[in-house]
Each structure stands twice: as structure tokens, then as C-alpha cells.
Structure 1
Amino acid sequence: MAIKSDIHLRDALSTAGHIHGNTSDLFAEDLTETTDWKQFADSWNDMPVDDYMADRGRYRHRRFAEFRQTENAHDIEELATTTYRQSKDYNHLNGGIDRHYSSIEPRIKRNTAFRSILGRFHALIPQAHESGTWLIQVFQNRIYARTGELGKPTPEGMHRDGVDFVLSLLINRNNVVGGESGTYCGITDRELSQVTLKRPGDYIFLDDRRMKHAVRPITPAVATMPGYRDVLIAMFTAQT
């Protein structure tokens, strides 16, 4: 598959406010076929449960970390914090409190596939070189679907995250149906696109200042077995 140019993707992101595709469009080597990706993807099998769900759900398991990317840096600097906070203006369900999560494992923070993903999508931001420093907040999310309990990738519903750009990257889907991702006009709430991330490496990258987004619940494809949906979320915010 031909590698899409940064100029083409930046223009599409600037015009439409969102793009979607697969990482095979972005790297000369299929990232999902590498040993580094396998180690990266396998780490989703060790996600602690999210104890901050105001709906009392036990379906979300996650880890969190923050990084700093500077314009001229060849690498991404890891930050020490594992505390995450959103205003209730953006997250009416779980916002308004400090949430303390287990950190992404050190070996994953150093993983080449992981760092390549962050660097590649940072490079697609149209204004990447206008702000010298970007904060990157990263979640590893596993959403379980079980008989009698819906798995809700976005339990807060249609929303913004209060950042500049948001990446949703599929790592794996196992025994689930549903999980369609919708992108909406930030002013009118009109649906602009709906896609289902199906293959490892499928992604949506959107301008959070202009767009809202939501993901429909997932249910088990085979009711007698649990299913899950693994996603990397990376949120980019320009630092002034």
C-alpha cells in the first residue's frame, strides 16, 4: 500500500477536522507485523480496572502516562505524573476529580512501535511546528463486553476531551460486535462520519477543538464468552 504523504494528511485534517485509515498507510513497514507491535499489543492483557466509573461499571481497564514533545526533539520526554483530571464541562460522568491511574509499563514507554506512533501522529498536526512544545496524554484502554453488562468505550456519550487533537488507535478486537465510532460537528452535533475500527492499526485522528466524538457500546459476539476492545488513546495539547 502506498504511504500517504504528510502534506496530504495534514490538508485533509485541516479541511475536514478528522481523518481515518490504518497505520499501514503511514509507515514503510507494516507496524502491526513487527515484534515491537506484538510486545506493545500484548501489554493490554495487564490492565488494572478503572475504579473511577461513576456509573459503577467494571468494564473499563486502563493505564495512563504523559509525555512532552518539543519541535526539535528527536525523542519524546516522559513525564512523571499519573494523575488525570477533566472538567465536568467535558466529562459530565467522571470529570471534576483527580483520577490516579497505574502508569503505562516502563518497557512499553520505551517500546519502538509505541514511540513511533506518537511521533508519527504528532507530525501530522497542521500546527505542530507553530507550538514548540506539546503535551501528550496517553491511555491504554481495554473495554470488556459481557453478558448482562454493556461495554461502553465512551460512557460519557458524545463529547470533546478539552485538548487540541485526539488519536484513537485500535490494537485488537476479540469476540465483540458494535463499537462504531462517530465524529460530529462541534457546533451543531451533526454526525459527519461513522466508521468501525476493525483491524489492528485502524485509527481516527481528529481536531478536538472542532469535533465531538463517541463510540457505540459493544456486546459479546458469542454470548457465553466475554469480549473486549483494546484501544490506544493519545491526546495532544499545544503548550504556550
Structure 2
Amino acid sequence: MSTASCPWADGGSPTPTILTDISPVPGESCLDVAATVRADGFAFVEAALAEPLLLRCGGLSDWQTFSESWNDLGQDHYLAAVGRHRRRRHAIFHLGAGGFELQPHGPHYQHIQYNPLQGSIQRWFEPMEARVCGSESMLTILAFAAKTFGELAPATREWKIEAHQFRIEAAPGRVGEPTTSPRF
């Protein structure tokens, strides 16, 4: 990946950014999303555009079942702040010449440079269910990601993809705090 694709690929830290003006992706293709990521370091895709973008990469006929899988996530026990309630599942995929392949269950790891709250530890989450990993909707999302990020790093032939399902829980008297990430 070149530094043009990733602003901090030179080994430095990502610059903390507070996003106050998030403009949606202009256009209607993976190329438009990739160009926005290349220019801004991220892309915001409005819901009305997300479905047509995904449908260019596959089907979503099982979307209802796919979305219902968020109702059965395991507790995230790695939160640094007491009182936060987040549920999560995790899967690892390999993308190579043979397509997408679900990998054996493994930990999620981020260096402390990228996650100052829970970085530099192996975090084990409950695995995403096989029916979710092999669903038409999940494979469509993976295909969209491969096409989009393939535009940013065309020389990369193999990818390790970590997929996470999150649910932030709120309750009466308890604010649902978002996923902790001081950047982006």
C-alpha cells in the first residue's frame, strides 16, 4: 500500500481527527468510494447509496436473517471503561486467488499505537456464526470491500480481512457509548 492510499503508511501515527463535516461519497461506484478514501482517509456512504453499491457486487436476499444475527452477539469483556456495554463477534477471512476463505477462529490484535485503550493484547471474541460468515449478504459485503480496497492497493494479491459485528447497548439510566476510537 502506498502512502497515497493510507496517510499514515509511512510508519507514523494516524493524526487524531474530529469529524465535523462529513460529506457523503459523490457518485455511485466502488471507484468513487475508493477515490474518497484515497483523498480523505475514510468514506461516508449514505444508506440510500449503500444498497445499490452492494448489489453491484452480489446479492442481499438474506439481509433480514443477516441483520437479525446482531441479536445474538457475545459480551465484549475487553472494554477499559467500567459500565460500558458492548456485544461483539469476530471472524477472519483470507482473500486470494481462490476467493474468500473463512480462517480458523483467532484473536483480534491492534498495536497500542492504533488502539491506546485496548491495544497490544490479543482479544478473543466469540466467533461469528458460520451461517453469517457464509451468507449471501456477508459475501457481498466482502466482495464490495475487496473491490474498493483493491482499487487502493492494486498490487496486493492476498488480503487478511477481520470482520466484526458490534452492538452498543443502552438502557434506562445508562448511555450507550460508541465504540472507543480516538481517531477517524
Q: TM-score, normalised by structure 2?
A: 0.73
Q: Is the 8 A contact 1:50 1:58 kept in 2?
A: no
Give 1:95 shift. 1.8
Q: Is the 8 A contact 1:82 1:102 kept in 2?
A: no
Paired residue for 2:176, among 151, 154, 171?
Answer: 151
Distance of aligned partners of 1:128 and 1:69 in 2 relative to their CA distance in 1, 3 Å threshold: farther
Is 1:69 aligned with 2:110?
Answer: no
SS in 1 for 2:169: strand
Q: How many residues align?
A: 153
Q: Is the 8 A contact 1:13 1:19 kept in 2?
A: yes
- Report the counterpart of residue 143 of structure 2 in structure 1: 119
Is 1:52 aligned with 2:111?
Answer: no
SS in 2 for 1:145: coil
Q: Pick the structure with more strand per residue.
A: 1
Paired residue for 2:164, among 139, 144, 149?
Answer: 139
Partner Cα separation in structure 1 for residue 155 and residue 91 of structure 2? 24
Is 1:13 aligned with 2:40?
Answer: no
Q: Pick the structure with more helix per residue.
A: 2
- Report the counterpart of residue 109 of structure 1 in structure 2: 133
Is 1:78 aligned with 2:105?
Answer: no
Q: Is the 8 A contact 1:67 1:79 kept in 2?
A: yes
Give 1:28 shift. 4.2
Question: Counterpart amino acid of 1:63?
Answer: R
Give 1:58 shift. 4.4
Partner Cα separation in structure 1 for residue 106 and residue 112 of structure 2? 19
- Report the counterpart of residue 25 of structure 1 in structure 2: 52
Q: Deviations over 1:189-228 (max 9, x none)?
A: xxxxxxxxxxxxxxxxxxxxxxxx1xxxxxxxxxxxxxxx
Q: Gaps spanning 5+ residues in structure 1: where?
A: 160-212, 214-240
Q: Is the 8 A contact 1:49 1:58 kept in 2?
A: no
Partner Cα separation in structure 2 for residue 13 and residue 91 of structure 1? 21
- Report the counterpart of residue 4 of structure 2 in structure 1: none
Pairing of 1:83-232 with structure 2 (within 5 A): 83-125=107-149, 126-155=151-180, 157-159=181-183, 213=184
Distance of aligned partners of 1:27 and 1:61 in 2 relative to their CA distance in 1, 3 Å threshold: closer
Q: Is the 8 A contact 1:85 1:95 kept in 2?
A: yes
SS in 2 for 1:137: strand
Partner Cα separation in structure 2 for residue 96 and residue 150 of structure 1? 28
- Report the counterpart of residue 162 of structure 1 in structure 2: none
SS in 1 for 2:33: helix
Paired residue for 1:40, among 47, 59, 66?
Answer: 66
Q: TM-score, normalised by structure 1?
A: 0.57
Distance of aligned partners of 1:91 and 1:10 in 2 relative to their CA distance in 1, 3 Å threshold: closer
Q: Is the 8 A contact 2:170 2:176 kept in 1?
A: yes
Partner Cα separation in structure 2 for residue 102 and residue 149 of structure 1? 24
CA RMSD, Structure 1 to Structure 2 (Å): 2.3
Q: Gaps spanning 5+ residues in structure 2: where?
A: 1-26
